[in-house]
Amino acid sequence: MIERNLARNWDRLSLEQQRQLQARKLREFLTTQVYPFSPYYRELFDRHRITPRSIRTLDDLRRIPFTSKADLVPTEQDPSGARKLVLQPDAASIKKHSPLAFQLRLATTRFFHGSRRIVESLGREYRPTSLLFTTGRSAAPMPFALTLYDLEILKEVGGRLLDVLGVDAQQDRGVSLFPYAPHLAFWQVAYCGFARGLLVLNTGGGKAMGTERIIDSISKIRPTMIVGIPGYVYHVLREAREAGVRFPTVKRIVLGGDRATPEMRSRMIELLIGMGATAPTVLSVLGFTEARVCWSECPCEKPSGFHTYPDVGIFECVNPDTGELVPDGEPGELVYTTIDGRGSVVLRYRTGDVLEDGIVSEPCPACRRTVPRLSSRLSRRSSVKDLRLSKIKGTLVNLDQLAAVIADEPGVEEWQIVLKKRNDDPFEVDEVVVCVAPRLGANDREIEASLHRHILQRTELSVNRIEFHPLGDMLERLGMETNLKERRIVDLRTAAPANSPTVAT
């Protein structure tokens, strides 16, 4: 069994104890793992004349340059891409870069058990056994490797997630609607079950099992928890309600993969109550492939923020433009540093996620855990598009804000944002078209007027037009039953010829 260097009392440490633990683990991790065995970070440290031993405190962490997704894209000069993040111990790197204590441990093993034992031991700890891929809509998926060591952490974190969510394996059972794929969300849910012996049906989502069979399975298994991507979970609940199916045992919905607006949470609760559920709650989980673990809100009247693990990673919240740290509770971009793991590890990784209420360090008002909590309200920096809405200049449009306005419109059942060129002419200005499927009994004219008014008030954008579509057609446009994530934002703009003005996307 691979030993994990994790804290048993991870959620009850004081702020000072957390900082001491993180500083110690950071020093050890950089000295014994990252610098000796990471091709990417050893080259980065050498280029910036940083030695691992010079990083002594959490404040020193800021001396390390940021890493971003752009640094990991394969090029002709460097085709390795994200593979260079994988810890890769070999005889040369161990002899030249690893600490003396590590080399002595290997020498002792070789003396008593032979070289074969060393190869087997290092293989179990460092050899990648699983790959997860990023799921960003705007960039090609990138692989991140996990070893057996990392899978043990994923399992430990799975148990912590259930504890934060208030799940009892003896009384609860779950159904996962996440698509079956090499993506973090699916596997984190699976390892939640492994960690606590919780019964979880991993359906693989609509593409694998089909919505009708999923609804039938939920009726038979009678779960207390349903987890999945917000849009598809809502779709399943809506289809079940229309079919007259009851879900009386469901106590909680757990959402990940996309942001769930307050209006969507309210609609899910309304649907569940209509199907016989008593006082159901809706909670969110945050995860990104580069960290290879997920974090959850705890049951609370208002979203309590994502409860982190101080012994696994370090979070920073920085000004997206300057890179400087912002005070607790202030908005900023989320930055992540691994301090325990093997496989692919990242330092000061810029996620592109903007925490609208930053990071808070005081104990959670609901569960009293003392861990730092990440704002439940997030947006993506990449969702801010520079659109040519006039012949003169571009306009920055935050599509996350626009999406939230549409999703919160009471008369809208489903929706999609389409970016296109006027008359499909690459030389023309951009257009923003909002496609909606109205709720049963809603008035199209009232929806159109309300959307125009609220979009202008909250985004200062006047969309070109609002189109109405039947619900079935909209579900097909979204790829609700076939895609990993529904296609909420579609960019149909074609590239203009080389001598024409360009638009950042």
Radius of gyration of the chain (CA): 24
Question: What stretch of H or E contains 372?
Answer: none
Task: Find out whether 257 and 188 touch, Cβ atoms under 8 Å.
Answer: no
- The helix (H) or strand (E) run that includes residue 25 is helix 15-29
Residues 6 or more apart from 257 whose CB is under 8 A from it? 135, 178, 185, 228, 229, 230, 485
Which residues face 66 on adjacent strands? none
β-strand pairing of 430-438 with 465-468? parallel
CA distance 159 to 195: 5
Q: Are the C-beta atoms of residues 65 and 44 closer than 8 Å to each other? A: yes
Token couple for 47: 């280029």
Assigned token pair, 223? 């779960």
pLDDT attached to residue 106: 81
Residue 224 main-chain phi, psi, to 5 deg: -95, -10
| CB 205, CB 135: distance < 8 Å | no
CA distances from 282 to 29, 267, 277, 309 (A): 37, 10, 12, 22
**SS3 of 186, please?**
helix
Characterise 221 by phi-psi region: left (phi > 0), alpha (psi -120 to 50), beta (else): alpha
What would the DSSP string read from start to end of 50-63?
Answer: --GGG--STGGGGG
Phi first, then psi: give them for residue 284, nearest 5 degrees. Answer: -115, 150
CATH of domain 383-491: 3.30.300.30
Distance CA(355)–CA(316), nearest Å, equals 11
| Helix or strand (DSSP H, E) at 368 | none
Where does 182-262 show beta strands of DSSP type E?
199-204, 225-228, 252-255
**pTM value?**
0.86
Residue 255 near residue 234 (C-beta atoms within 8 A)? no
Burial per residue of 32-71, b for 16 or more beta-carbon CB atoms within 10 angstroms, e otherwise? bbbbbbbebbbebbeeeebebeebeebeebeebeebebeb
Q: Pick from 158, 200, 195: which is nearest to 178 by CA? A: 200
pLDDT tens for the chain, 505 residues long, are 445 678 789 999 999 999 999 999 999 999 999 999 999 999 999 999 999 999 999 999 999 999 999 898 888 888 888 899 999 998 888 888 888 888 788 888 777 888 788 878 888 889 999 999 987 555 578 899 999 999 999 999 999 999 999 999 999 999 999 999 899 999 999 999 999 999 999 999 988 899 999 999 999 999 999 999 999 999 999 999 999 999 999 999 999 988 888 889 999 999 999 999 999 999 999 999 999 999 999 998 888 899 999 999 999 999 999 999 999 999 999 999 999 999 999 999 999 999 999 999 999 999 999 999 999 988 876 666 666 665 555 677 788 889 889 998 999 999 999 999 988 888 788 899 999 999 999 999 999 999 999 999 888 888 999 999 999 999 999 999 888 788 998 988 864 443 333 333 2
What does the block give as tokens for 39? 């091709």
- Partners of 208 in the β-ladder: none
* Residue 346 confidence (pLDDT): 97
Tell which phi-psi region holds residue 369, choosing left (phi > 0), alpha (psi between -120 and 50) or beta.
beta
Could you give the maximum distance between any two Cα atoms of the chain, in Å? Answer: 82
Beta strand 281-288 with 293-296 is antiparallel
What tokens were used for 206? Answer: 């609509």
CA dist 211 to 234, 353, 455, Å? 11, 31, 33
Residue 187 · residue 200 · CB < 8 Å: no
